[in-house]
Structure 1
């Protein structure tokens, strides 16, 4: 849901060759686009016969890849992709892919799990596809967040980024995404080629759509994957309450995120058995056309296609306002709202951050989630960013996130629940040293071009998109 991050694309491309040389990107022979297969056409994504009998997190296949910025400039790291067994909402076995980046100076006792906000129900938007040299860059958010991943690589962390929406790219179902993250961590921890220690330490993170996956991974981990050596979770701009997020997005510049979520929740790996027949019954011809288009388009196209429209329009679905109150819809929404069950509370230090003026995800819902977790004994640091909007906050918070990650690995986070408010709206380009200055300079430029509290995105979102695509 970090739509306005696309504003960073042009900025990241300006001077990118010089930037990548600073962080050790090496030239490589050009790769023709047609040599990189989309997930639906790539045999690697298909699990072998009998895979369902394997334990969740089992590696089913592996390969080396050449990772690249925006599909164009190779990154000088070891890069691998693992096909692994995970679990659908109904408990059946499915398989998905995680991409692993290992820097030359990798710390072998730990790694970072990074859930990117790809926010789409089209398989061509899977990050594992976007990360490959020669891949078309339809999933711009995943491409841009690779710049943030580079920070962790430069700090010596191996980073794994899973296709947590599963093989159908189901956007929205948090439980599916959470299990996808946890099983991806299992797979990476057992991947001997990396040379990691047995049962390595892990910190998981994600922002916006990526926080759906991370928040649910944190919630489910105590019961679903208790053996993992998780040291901390980081989630920002968290869509913790699906109903609240839906109402905030509806009939806005960001309403185009809702049809792919409806399509994602209706997929067979999610709630297709009960939800898909109902959705099919109430959709108008126009509504069905819009839902069908989300199966082949990434977030940017979806936003433009449903710009400032409402899912409650009778031109979209026939029930109008009553749609939200149908028992089937209510059941699905409830199952995908965080902090509603005490036994789904994170048990390791968790950093939650959110902008007061977040125009995409309601601040009040994140605050309510934190309060519930704290009442149930969780260890949560909750930071409110008083300046900035949805996209800018992911950038502004980077230094605090990095500090939390370091403390989580060191076991020095504060115990209990703490709250603080930050007023900062800029980044210090040399805050992390000369090595990382080029990355932070790009992010400072992004903050400037987004404007105060994402003002340029909010005032002319279509213009922002068209300028950067």
Structure 2
């Protein structure tokens, strides 16, 4: 069902988006301090020995657990939690390590389905990873705190949950392949961790939104080639940013212009050839900002770059920066919809999204369907980027629960539905 939206409704959606960012920054500032004040602050990941790769880790199999430890959580949840350091693969197809936080709910179902929850981070600061922000006493980023509602819902459903640090130790965002590798290896680690009582036969689902949707997209697209032994039965993800170029153009100069800085600074630090191409065009202030953003979380950058125009940091227009061959190449490689998933998909997107344009998501779904994927695609009119987190999740979790509850395959084929609101017409 296609639904037209009036210009007044569009203005209300945009106004909500601006107000939501202001509220988020006002409440969060750069960080939110854990409510568990009795706990001492844990060491930051860059100085915590647990996060460091042990000697000889390269010879371990992808997904092999290298260290584990129980953790206290930043908020009370009815679950036990552990961190697992595991061997994985980075953006350059080289051995690396990262951490996942795994949860065993008190009301775990007898069949123990596992859901990998990709929390959006959208930043490179080492203190921004979910595994750090979920710990009691940590100065948790707003991004981690804001996603605890979804985590709680999963645990209440009796699902075992894995929350991987899919950006790795160096905060790579938003790069090709690596988020999928690190998420799949996090699932492998979870299935091998004896206290969770899992095995390769357990049903596995995926969930993520925004930057977490991007990681979920890469995970389900790489699953058949990288980890085909995993019994992934469905992936629900939204606002995935399938075309990074479009997201950077859309957000520049607006309330979410921090996304431009997070993406460009990550590419700048990750790829030597991108740094070499960008560096001659950066102003002195721009070079300093690139280095600064590498050390902080998205909520901090949002406050600094609210309605900021990134053209001021370069001696050429932003469109010419993005067209520099090394940068254009890595952005193009990060495009979603280029591999055929075997698991069914539930994709959701706000039509008026001011961060992730709807057009590229439409095209991603078309590309996936052309490759034989089964996709249920829901487009929502009365929503924007932040509000979709709340309006879409009940229907997404309902769909994911249906996949986890049965061995019956999901309906094959593709469907696209445009609704006013998923709260009004849940699917």
User: TM-score by structure 2 length?
Assistant: 0.88
Residue of structure 1 in register with 2:128 after alignment: 125
What CA distance in whole angstroms lies between the structure 2 residues aligned with 1:197 and 1:55?
Answer: 17
The answer to whether residue 373 in structure 2 is matched with residue 378 in structure 1 is yes
Residue of structure 2 in register with 1:319 after alignment: 316
Which residue among 170, 176, 179 is the counterpart of 2:178? 176
Quote the offset at 1:199 in angstroms: 3.6
The answer to whether residue 236 in structure 2 is matched with residue 234 in structure 1 is yes
Residue of structure 2 in register with 1:352 after alignment: 347
Residue of structure 2 in register with 1:24 after alignment: none
What CA distance in whole angstroms lies between the structure 2 residues aligned with 1:7 and 1:426?
Answer: 22
Residue of structure 2 in register with 1:87 after alignment: 89
What CA distance in whole angstroms lies between the structure 1 residues aligned with 2:314 and 2:27?
Answer: 39
User: Cα–Cα, structure 1 residues 142 and 247, in superposed 2: closer, same or farther, change >3 Å?
Assistant: same
Is contact 1:121–1:261 with CA below 8 Å preserved after alignment?
Answer: no
Is contact 1:359–1:390 with CA below 8 Å preserved after alignment?
Answer: yes
Once superposed, which parts of structure 1, at least 4 consecutive aligned residues long, lie more than 6 Å away?
8-12
SS of alignment partner, residue 63 of structure 1? strand
SS of alignment partner, residue 96 of structure 1? strand
What CA distance in whole angstroms lies between the structure 2 residues aligned with 1:179 and 1:129?
Answer: 20
Residue of structure 2 in register with 1:299 after alignment: 298
What CA distance in whole angstroms lies between the structure 2 residues aligned with 1:228 and 1:247?
Answer: 37
The superposition leaves residues 110-145 of structure 1 with CA deviations (integer Å, 9 ceiling, x where unpaired) of 1110001111111011110000011012x1111110
Is contact 1:294–1:302 with CA below 8 Å preserved after alignment?
Answer: yes
What CA distance in whole angstroms lies between the structure 1 residues aligned with 2:345 and 2:394?
Answer: 16
> Aligned ranges for residues 421-460 of structure 1 at < 5 Å?
421-424=418-421, 426=423
Which residue among 106, 110, 115 is the counterpart of 2:113? 110
What CA distance in whole angstroms lies between the structure 2 residues aligned with 1:10 and 1:326?
Answer: 36
Q: How many aligned residue pairs are there?
A: 399
Quote the offset at 1:174 in angstroms: 3.5
Quote the offset at 1:382 in angstroms: 0.2
The superposition leaves residues 190-221 of structure 1 with CA deviations (integer Å, 9 ceiling, x where unpaired) of 11121123442110110001111001111111
The superposition leaves residues 435-457 of structure 1 with CA deviations (integer Å, 9 ceiling, x where unpaired) of xxxxxxxxxxxxxxxxxxxxxxx
Is contact 1:8–1:144 with CA below 8 Å preserved after alignment?
Answer: no
What CA distance in whole angstroms lies between the structure 2 residues aligned with 1:31 and 1:11?
Answer: 22
Is contact 1:130–1:142 with CA below 8 Å preserved after alignment?
Answer: yes
Is contact 1:109–1:197 with CA below 8 Å preserved after alignment?
Answer: no
Residue of structure 2 in register with 1:364 after alignment: 359
User: TM-score by structure 1 length?
Assistant: 0.81
Quote the offset at 1:44 in angstroms: 0.3
> Aligned ranges for residues 329-340 of structure 1 at < 5 Å?
329-339=327-337
What CA distance in whole angstroms lies between the structure 2 residues aligned with 1:264 and 1:395?
Answer: 28
The answer to whether residue 28 in structure 2 is matched with residue 39 in structure 1 is no
